[in-house]
């Protein structure tokens, strides 16, 4: 049996593969070089990502190390959102560390950079992702009168963002319909009912927030609506009564004059 030589399409495929392999190798070498020079931030609790996920009120320690063990005399600086962080004198060399505690809402998205003082191209950065749940859970009661405006507020300030839904007497409030308006500003979801109607609007409202990380929370609003109590405006009525009384008196008086005239 004869072995057939590699045909032309097979050969060009081989060349292509060789080229790809060579490129990949080159990339690997470049990556290797980049990893052995410069500085690297490590975090406690640890993370291999450039994004460190932490809970609100938690604590994170960031440690900056030289990637090469040899040059440990280099001075390091830390930046928070490009602003210099003050360091103790003995904390500027290798293993320079900073601690952020307690983590606040403002620390979410903050970028921490460690770099060599003399040569800023030797740098590493991490971004904090501070997660927090909304404070939705709870219940409130409202005693309202017809024609009044009802405003229900529901906390939705959370990271990651939550999905908010409202229901009334067990039925989902799909869209803003009629007098019921739902708005949100990213912090609070607001349900407004203008001109309350006893038959249409009294009942139980529920705001539900759904977080991919923190789960579901519900806030219940029990809204009672009663008839508008008619408050008599006392002073104008008194004045009116006086006017009517005087008019009648005047009428009788002038009539009497007329009558008197007749019987003169
Ligand atoms: C920094 O930490 C590493 C690992 O813990 C250690 O090997 C090294 O000696 C430390 N360097 C300095 C200057 O403390
Ligand atoms: C780095 O800075 C120090 C002073 O902080 C200086 O003595 C040294 O010459 C600088 N090195 C380079 C390479 O710029
Ligand atoms: C940080 O290092 C990268 C290369 O690793 C460089 O492109 C960048 O300009 C450096 N940043 C600063 C502030 O020097
Ligand atoms: C922060 O972490 C949360 C929870 O894992 C995630 O859903 C969200 O996308 C992260 N934020 C960013 C900006 O990566
Ligand atoms: C909602 O439920 C309450 C209590 O069960 C009831 O009094 C009210 O009439 C209901 N409202 C509507 C519009 O169905
Ligand atoms: C909210 O209430 C639900 C049900 O009672 C509960 O499972 C959940 O842990 C509560 N969440 C918070 C943040 O209080």
Question: 177 falls in which pLDDT band (50, 70, 90)?
Answer: low
Residues 121 and 42 in one domain: yes
Residues 151 and 122 in one domain: no
Cis peptide before 102 (omega within 30 of 0): yes
Residues 113 and 67 in one domain: yes
Residue 55 has, within 13 A of its CA and on its CB side, a CA count of 7
Q: How far is C-alpha 79 from the chain's CA centre?
A: 26
In-domain check, residue 255 = no
Is this model's pTM higher than 0.85 or not? no
Residues 114 and 147 in one domain: no
Residues 40 and 65 in one domain: yes
Confidence at residue 33, expressed as pLDDT on a 0 to 100 scale: 38
Residues 146 and 80 in one domain: no
pLDDT in tens, 28-53: 443 333 344 578 888 888 776 789 99
Residues 108 and 195 in one domain: no
Residues 40 and 122 in one domain: yes
> Which residues are CB-contacts of 59 (< 8 A; sequence separation ≥ 6)?
99, 100, 101, 102, 103
Last residue of a domain, one of 96, 131, 166: 131
Last residue of a domain, one of 101, 131, 161: 131
In-domain check, residue 251 = no
Ligand 3: which residue has its CA nearest to atom 6? 121
CB atoms within 10 A of CB 63: 16
The mean-pLDDT minimum among 76-80, 118-122, 209-213, 243-247 falls in 243-247
Q: What is the mean pLDDT of the chain?
A: 82
pLDDT in tens, 92-139: 888 899 999 999 999 999 999 999 888 888 899 999 999 999 999 999
Structural domain total, the chain = 2
Query: Which residue has 């990893």 as its token pair?
Result: 35
Ligand 5: which residue has its CA nearest to atom 2? 203
Last residue of a domain, one of 131, 150, 175: 131
Supply 156's token pair: 């939705």
- Torsions phi, psi of 39, nearest 5? -120, 160
Query: Which residue has 């859970």 as its token pair?
Result: 137
pLDDT in tens, 54-87: 999 999 999 998 876 565 577 899 999 999 999 9
Taking residues 199-204, what's their average pLDDT?
96
Q: How far is the CA of 30 from the centre of ligand 4 (A)?
A: 30
Supply 157's token pair: 């300030």
Residues 144 and 86 in one domain: no
Q: Which domain holds residue 94?
A: 36-131
Residues 49 and 98 in one domain: yes
* CATH classification at residue 150: 2.60.40.10
Q: Report which ligand 5 atom has the smallest distance to the Cα of 169.
A: 1
Ligand 2: which residue has its CA nearest to atom 9? 118
């Amino acid at each position: 049996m004869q072995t057939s030589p590699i045909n032309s399409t097979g050969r060009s495929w081989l060349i292509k593969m060789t080229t790809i392999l060579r490129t990949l190798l080159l990339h690997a070498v470049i990556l290797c070089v980049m990893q052995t020079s410069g500085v690297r931030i490590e975090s406690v609790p640890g993370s291999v990502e450039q994004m460190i996920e932490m809970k609100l009120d938690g604590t994170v320690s960031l440690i900056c190390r030289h990637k090469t063990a040899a040059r440990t005399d280099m001075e390091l600086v830390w930046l928070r959102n490009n602003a210099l962080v003050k360091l103790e004198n003995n904390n500027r060399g290798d293993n320079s560390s900073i601690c952020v505690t307690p983590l606040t809402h403002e620390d979410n998205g903050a970028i921490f950079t460690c770099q060599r003082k003399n040569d800023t191209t030797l740098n590493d950065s991490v971004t904090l992702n501070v997660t927090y749940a909304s404070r939705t859970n709870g219940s409130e009661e409202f005693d309202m009168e017809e024609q009044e405006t009802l405003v229900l507020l529901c906390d939705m300030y959370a990271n990651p963002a939550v999905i908010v839904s409202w229901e009334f007497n067990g039925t989902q409030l799909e869209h803003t319909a009629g007098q019921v308006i739902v708005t949100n500003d990213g912090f609070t979801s607001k349900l407004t009912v203008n001109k309350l109607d006893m038959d249409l609007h009294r009942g139980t409202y529920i705001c539900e927030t759904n977080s991919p990380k923190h789960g579901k929370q519900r806030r219940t609003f029990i809204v009672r609506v009663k008839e508008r109590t008619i408050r008599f405006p006392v002073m104008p009525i008194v004045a009116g009564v006086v006017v009517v009384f005087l008019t009648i008196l005047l009428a009788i008086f002038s009539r009497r004059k007329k009558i008197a005239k007749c019987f003169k």
